[in-house]
Amino acid sequence: MSLSDAQVLEAVSSLIDDNTGKPFVAAKAVKNIKISDAELSLDVVLAYPANSQHESVRQRFEAALAPLAEQRKLSVRVGSQITSHSAQRGVPLLSGVKNVIAVASGKGGVGKSTTAANLALALSAEGARVGILDADIYGPSQPLMMGLQGQRPETPDGKSLKPLENHGVQTMSIGYLVDADQAMVWRGPMVSQALQQLLNDTRWDNLDYLVIDMPPGTGDIQLTLSQKVPVTGAVIVTTPQDIALLDARKGVTMFQKVGIPILGMVENMAIHVCSNCGHAEHIFGEGGAARMAADFGVDVLGSLPLDMGIRLAADGGTPTVAADPDGKVAELYKAIARKVAVKVGEKAQDFSGKFPKIVIQNN
């Protein structure tokens, strides 16, 4: 039986990507179809990292193609290809970084930094090259969370910094450059300049995603980020509590005003399950993030429990996704990470980095 590419595409046309809700064929994820008397092979190339799901996708494609293959050897390869996507108009891409994701809250104390660290680790676990920048100049927490407190980055040329790496994630923070007990008594312009230097002077090594752990509020750092940094999208972290939602609304509004799209919301500390009796209780309220998301027309990317293990892991320098990669909480973070990456993958691509620089000289 002779086969054509069209027949192969027809056989898999009904397969739906569970992460995007769209057919793989319609998303142009099916590539490199090769047909011979001995073999039928193709590639499924996802626009987001999803290592944990590659095997299930491969099995679905093989099951759909088996009736066509007959005596041919069937080979389905599943992988990811992450590209740069558009950010604010007129803001150039960062060297060595394809996409920038800001994690913000508008309010402190809602677990934003813990969420940012685990989001970065989850993206890395799913197969992406990831970095995390601690943009909280006044209260950096990523050195502790990432198990790198007390270490100093190298400066090969006296001008740039090599990011420190742990758990497979590249990191940079003002906390690496000052003593842990030193208070940063700086005014806004100095803080903004420090942020720009940390971003631009760090030698990020071919990152698919740079996660920026934002400080609370809507002040100088947030404005600097929107004007100088090519942010692909923002993730808003909140708890169900009304007072947290009030500040989270301000964060959403700020990003909307400066043209940075909201990728979605993460509801932290959504429910507490007693470790002794198993009783579940919504300590900070219930459904607040869903109501707010509906008001702004954005998605809730996931809800995380109020769990002592999350806090202990972060304080110990090995966040949950690294400490217990196969646990239930890690799966929640990975699901959120895939949704974030899918949202990024759906944005328009940025090809500016592929064009040569044109210099016009007057002779």
Structure tokens at 78: 């599943």
Instruction: Check residue 55 and report its DSSP letter.
Output: H
- What residues pair up with 166 in beta bridges, in sequence order? 169
Whether 14 has a binding-site annotation, put simply, is no
Q: Which residue has the tokens 């996660």?
A: 211
How far lies 219's CA from each of 137, 227, 253, in Å?
A: 12, 13, 13
In whole angstroms, give the CA distance from residue 192 to residue 357: 28
**Residue 250 annotated as lining a ligand binding site:** no
Q: Is 280 helix (H, G, I), strand (E, B) or coil?
A: strand
Q: Which amino acid is at 176?
A: Y
Q: CA–CA separation, 43 vs 78, rounded Å?
A: 6
Compute mean pLDDT per 10 residues along the chain, 363 residues long, and list them: 88 94 94 93 95 95 92 94 81 88 85 94 96 88 92 89 95 86 72 84 95 82 79 91 84 85 92 80 82 90 90 93 94 95 82 51 55
Residue 168 known to bind ligand: no
Is 113 annotated in a binding site? The answer is yes
In the chain, count H helices and then E strands. 11, 13
For residue 110, say whether it is annotated as part of any ligand binding site.
yes
Alpha carbon 193 to chain centroid distance? Answer: 25
Q: Is the pTM of this model over 0.75?
A: yes
112 is in an annotated binding site: yes
150 among annotated binding-site residues: no
Would you give the end-to-end CA distance of the chain in angstroms?
A: 66
Widest CA span in the chain: 82
Beta strands in the chain, from DSSP E residues, in sequence order: 30-35, 39-46, 73-80, 97-104, 130-134, 164-166, 169-173, 207-213, 233-238, 262-267, 272-273, 280-281, 300-303
Hey, how many other C-beta atoms are within 10 angstroms of the C-beta on 189? 10
Distance CA 89, CA 104 (A): 21
pLDDT at residue 348, rounded to an integer: 67
Instruction: Report the alpha-carbon distance of residue 28 to residue 45 in Å, rounded.
Output: 8
Whole-number Å distance between alpha carbons of 194 and 189: 9
Say whether 111 counts as a known binding-site residue.
yes
What gap in Å lies between CA 277 and CA 265, rounded to an integer?
30
Which SS3 state, helix, strand or coil, does residue 265 take? strand
Question: Distances from the Cα of 232 to the Cαs of 212, 257, 296, 316, in angstroms?
Answer: 11, 15, 18, 31
